[in-house]
Amino acid sequence: MLQLPVYLDNNATTPCDPRVVAAMLPYFTEVYGNAASRSHPFGWAAQEAVDYAREQVARLIGADTKEIIFTSGATEAVNLAIKGVSEMYATKGRHIITAATEHKAVLDTCKHLEKQGAQITVLPVDKEGLVDLAALEAAITPQTILISIMYANNETGTIQPVQAISAIARKHGVLFMSDATQAVGKIPVNVNTDGIDLLTLSAHKLYGPKGVGALYVRRRSPRVMLTAQIDGGGHERAMRSGTLNVPGIVGLGKACELCETEMTSDSARISVLRDRLENALLQLEQSYVNGSRTHRLPHTTNLSFKYIESETLMMGFNKNIALSTGSACTSASLEPSYVLKALGLSDDLARASLRFGLGRFTTEEQIDYTIRTITDAVNKTRSESPVWEMYKDGVDLDTIA
């Protein structure tokens, strides 16, 4: 049975899995102790739950439990990683390399450091959203302390050549950080196989609760040191002070456990639905896939429908289909997506894009409904558009200002 509205904005956030909610509930009302309270059973029980969640998170990404630092989410983890490295390794240099398609959490953190005297290199990407490895290596200087390249893009799903990037970083003795918020739980991520020194993730992107995330910090070969950005009681190996969100951490741990066991089957099913949706909508005239079709996440597709503004298009179906035109963190902006612009799209084509983020609870019926609804909406919107009429009459619209 078709359930409306259809939710296809899983890149912005995922629904909390009922099994995750069930795991969290006792830690609100029964096991409510502070994990830092070491003098009574309530605190011991809370600490035991945190320790187990740390194991669950570590297992999913191939890390050691002592390398997992709990945070309020990926944005805090990114800030702690980049600012923490910048301060700790300032005597070596203050040069950081990143890419134009990074999440705003990375780009804005780098801008903040740049105002304080750091040198930031923002690498361009090709039309698929991939970093040029030769350009990356050429950008490294003796003062370079960190390369921060995301594992997979939140708007297009493009997966970067992480192992090749890490090899370049190791060759030059530079730390490698990856914002893996969209990748963890969707595709296999292993910090050792991938050669990652710092990695960020967030619970609400993998069917866990909002307001909790984690930072992986490598302890050996090399041992990564960070300057804390929140001072206080010295929690989380003195890297992140503050009372731990025990229910949220339990939820993150359970979400990671579920992803570890179900990721392969989830991805196989979801990628079939994604391809079904994509192939059907590409039958529409002047429709395009943005980003890579080979190196990408199984649940994401970003499509442009030329000669239509996506905001206008969405008015025809946004009560029944939830999706977005880009990152949730920049959805209030009227500017075209900076990620799509970095891929070389014109303003008009970037404004004509929709991001589809499928998930664990997406059904075949919902995808078929989405295909019908968006096809009808595109055809209807174009039928009322003088721009589309000019295109059909053979006018070269690229020559018109």
110 is catalytic: no
How many whole angstroms from its chain centre is CA 127? 19
Classify the phi-psi angles of 158: left when phi > 0, otherwise alpha if psi is within -120 to 50, otherwise beta.
beta
User: How many other C-beta atoms can be found within 10 angstroms of the C-beta atom of residue 334?
Assistant: 6
Report d(CA 3, CA 177) in Å as an integer: 40
Q: Hey, is 41 helix, strand or coil?
A: helix
Facing residues of 71 across strands? Answer: 213
Which residue(s) pair with 178 in the sheet? 199
Tell me the helices (H) and strands (E) count for the chain, helix number first.
Answer: 13, 12
Cβ burial, residue 211 (10 Å; 0-12/13-18/19+): middle
Catalytic residue among 110, 256, 259, 329: 329
Q: List, in sequence order, every beta strand (DSSP E) within 91-191.
A: 95-99, 119-123, 144-148, 175-179
Q: Which of 70, 57, 61 is nearest to 191 (CA)?
A: 61
What is the spatial distance between Cα 161 and Cα 183, in angstroms, rounded to a whole number?
A: 13
**Between vectors from CA 397 to CA 392 and to CA 401, what angle results, nearest 5°?**
150
CA atoms within a 13 Å half-sphere pointing along the CA-CB vector of 232? 13
Is 304 in a helix, a strand, or coil? strand
Active-site residue set: 329
